[in-house]
Chains A and B, each alone.
Chain A
Amino acid sequence: MRRNLCVLGIESTAHTFSASVAKENEKLLSDVKDVYVPPEGSGIHPTEAAKHHALVAAKVIKEALSASGVKAGDIDAVAYAMGPGLGPCLRVGAVSARTMALALGKPLVPVNHAIGHIELGCMLTGAKSPLVLLISGGHTMVISCSAGMWRVLGETLDLTLGQLLDQLGRHFGYSSPCGRRIEEAASRSHRYLRLPYTVKGNDVSFSGLITAAKRLVDVGEPFEDVCFSVQESAFATTVEVTERALAFTGSKEVMVVGGVAANKRLSEMLNVMVERHSARLSVVPLRYSGDCGAQIAWTGLLAFKEGVTIPVEKSLIRQSWRLDTVPLPWRTAA
């Protein structure tokens, strides 16, 4: 296979439509995104988000190509997020990717969105085979790589951290994603209100926490105190299960990726925790913590190098596609 491969990646699993060009030696050449913003007080309506994606798709892809300085003809493959995610949103990305692949006469590469977060994080932070904490609207998982697969050591039994923060924010009238506004509100409080703290072995659960938190808002507790307390409880359970996995695996490298990785309080807590175990914490740079085309382009490049492609007529989407079922030929080959 010829050297210095170049891959166009398309991401569209939830509220973000994004395209990026990645090249083997130069890494990321461009990353352009357009994010669907729901009306105040609501979350992502999948068909509304898909409509948004369909409107911006051509513009985003065009911009990603021109910003990269790569000629369309020099693209070697087109990677797309096959799943997991919202069906209508995934379909827009898949259609865009098929169109590009057919127009350019290049192969299509299916990428698992969650693995995209991890592989991009590894490339950007230099982590080799870390214990990964993946926290976003779609995932809350503690993962490590063994025998050529990412394996789940612990995860949420119900809501993800992203959903927890979004549902709390929406209850107060904000629109998703609410993480930044909740963090800002929490930073103004130091008053801890008792909330459920649920750790089941290596797993966490936030359903009781969100119910209790909404009730506190309803009885008139100040919003910043509720935000502070929710962050303290939810993040502490998350850090605890990460610590359990760290003690269990004896790993010396922890990497945190996904949208919620942007939260300063959480990375502060993780830093304190890893220090106790003489481990190192890498946090994915803010610019790339949320959903982006770069995660698909970069992981697509790794997969394509190992010969992973999919014929257009089989290039469906997979709304439910757990990352612990995906083979990683680029990790087994190394």
Chain B
Amino acid sequence: MKLVYRGAEADIYSDEWAGEGAIFKFRKPLPYRHPELDAEIRAQRTVREAEIIHDAKAAGVNAPSLYYVSQPESLIVMEEIEGPRLKSLLSTPGRDPAAISFDFGVAVGRLHRGGIMHGDLTTSNVLVDQAGVRMIDFGLSAHSIKVEDHAVDLRLIKETLAGAHSKIAVVVMASFMKGYASEVGEARAKTVGRKLVEIERRGRYARLE
């Protein structure tokens, strides 16, 4: 088994499952966390991720297929997606980010329309392969149709863009919102967008004008 990525809360290995390329996602114990707290969080996130991947697919979102889930090991085995992260696509100079950002918006819109908030929408958690935009990492996801929760998702996208893709952040966000609105409808997109501004204003030292 080959370690392909060391994330914040899981180690990702690549191997085979029934002859197909598969990803083994282990939520290893985090030694800095109190053992009781750690065990609880890992079990909860493993189960939730598996559950939501299933529901996201039902909502028409292109999430990876699940092969195997083991709560005692905090392990999920799923389809290996062969494609770059959105983060690296957006960092490729000379590439027009508009089309892929629109598709990203469509995917998130579909998820929200299906009553799911992702909870961790950074550009590291979106992959792009031949099938288009694929979403991963549902460990912090939840069932929700609340405007607030959906706006929290958009806020994280905006925060990530400003933090890691500052030069193209405005362009990407604009075409993301177009894609998003095409799924959830103009009116809902506006409502969520307004809530996003409200959440930003609640932030510390945010400008009030």
Chain A contact residues, CB within 8 Å of chain B: 83-84, 138-139, 144, 146-147, 149, 151-158, 160, 192, 197, 199-203, 232-233, 236, 239-240, 243-244, 246-249, 268-270, 272-273, 276-277, 319-322, 324
Contacts and interface: CB of A to CB of B under 8 A. Distances in A.
A83, A157, A197, A201: residue with the most chain B Cβ atoms closer than 10 Å: A201
A146 B204 contact: no
B8 A201 contact: no
Contacts of B160: 153, 202, 248
Given A157-B202, A202-B122, A144 B32 contact: no
B32 A203 contact: no
A276 B9 CA distance: 11
B37 A192 contact: yes
Interface stretch (B64-72, B105-113, B163-171, B181-189): B163-171
8 contacts: A83-B205, A154-B159, A156-B204, A157-B203, A243-B8, A247-B7, A272-B31, A320-B205
Nearest to B33: A236
A201 B36 contact: no
B142 to A, nearest CB: 10
A276 B122 contact: no
B36 A192 contact: yes
B204 A160 contact: yes
B2 interface: no
B34 A320 contact: no
Given A202-B120, A272-B31, A322-B206, 8 more contacts: A83-B205, A147-B167, A151-B162, A197-B41, A236-B37, A244-B8, A246-B8, A249-B164
A276 B206 contact: no
B76 interface: no
Interface string B124-157: 1000000000000000100000000000110010
Contacts, number: 112
Contact of A144 (B87, B153, B156, B163): B163
A248 B208 contact: no
A269 B36 contact: no
4 closest A-B pairs by CB:
A201-B156, A269-B32, A244-B8, A243-B8
Nearest to B208: A320
B6 interface: yes
B207 interface: yes
A168 B107 CA distance: 42
Nearest to A324: B162
B204 A155 contact: yes
Nearest to A195: B37
Contacts of B8: 240, 243-244, 246-248
B63 interface: no
B172 to A, nearest CB: 15
Contact of A202 (B30, B36, B156, B202): B156
A83 B36 CA distance: 41
